Structure 1
């Protein structure tokens, strides 16, 4: 078990996120298809299959992280999704758990390992 969810569940959620990104739903982020946060103040970018970046609306970078993960299949990559109604980004790492990415009280964006919220687990 990884951060409260099983590996098969992480794989299923990553697949759902990938399919959602392909369908063009607004909260999903994929390489070449950045998405605005619910407030419209931030934009999440999936630079490739392992790098996630968040910018402010003027393009200034507020967060960047490269996620190390095992690749079992060609194209395995992190899943990136905005929580609806809140400027909170979730990154699902294949066989590695999940992280919540958001601004703290000081305005600095950080990533913290966390259990996925129900809104996202219901997608799988």
Structure 2
């Protein structure tokens, strides 16, 4: 339950920030590079997440439309600070860790938020 409270705070933070300085969240029209610089996270809309390689090729894409269809909050999307691991925060639902597996294929797995992400809120 604590993760859901943190998630709600992060979503409020995401919606309430007007100043982008130091903001780590990915937003439509404001993609963010991964810590290694090898990947870029894009928020295609309030419910669509995409990760590309340096050349712009898709390595991951997922719609969270089901989670945002009845809410206007949108989702939160943020990289870990020192690892190419993307976190997708779904309002009122759960969080997903998005990263490449040993085979290089990017997948999303439901996971509890790490402390680094919860401290952002």
Query: Which residue of structure 2 aligns with residue 5 of structure 1?
Result: 3
Query: Which residue of structure 1 aligns with residue 97 of structure 2?
Result: 100
Pairing 1:44–2:41 present:
yes
User: What stretches of structure 2 of length at least 5 have no aligned partner?
Assistant: none
How many residues of Structure 1 are paired with residues of Structure 2 in the alignment?
A: 120
User: What stretches of structure 1 of length at least 5 have no aligned partner?
Assistant: none
TM-score by length of 1: 0.86
Confirm or deny: 8 A CA contact 1:31 1:46 kept in the other structure.
yes
Q: Give 1:31's match in structure 2, choosing from 19, 28, 32.
A: 28
1:1-124 matches, within 5 Å, as 1=1, 5-6=3-4, 8-19=5-16, 22-25=19-22, 27-67=24-64, 68-70=66-68, 74=72, 76-124=73-121
TM-score by length of 2: 0.88
Q: C-alpha displacement at 1:24, in angstroms?
A: 3.9
2-structure distance, mates of 1:56, 1:94: 27
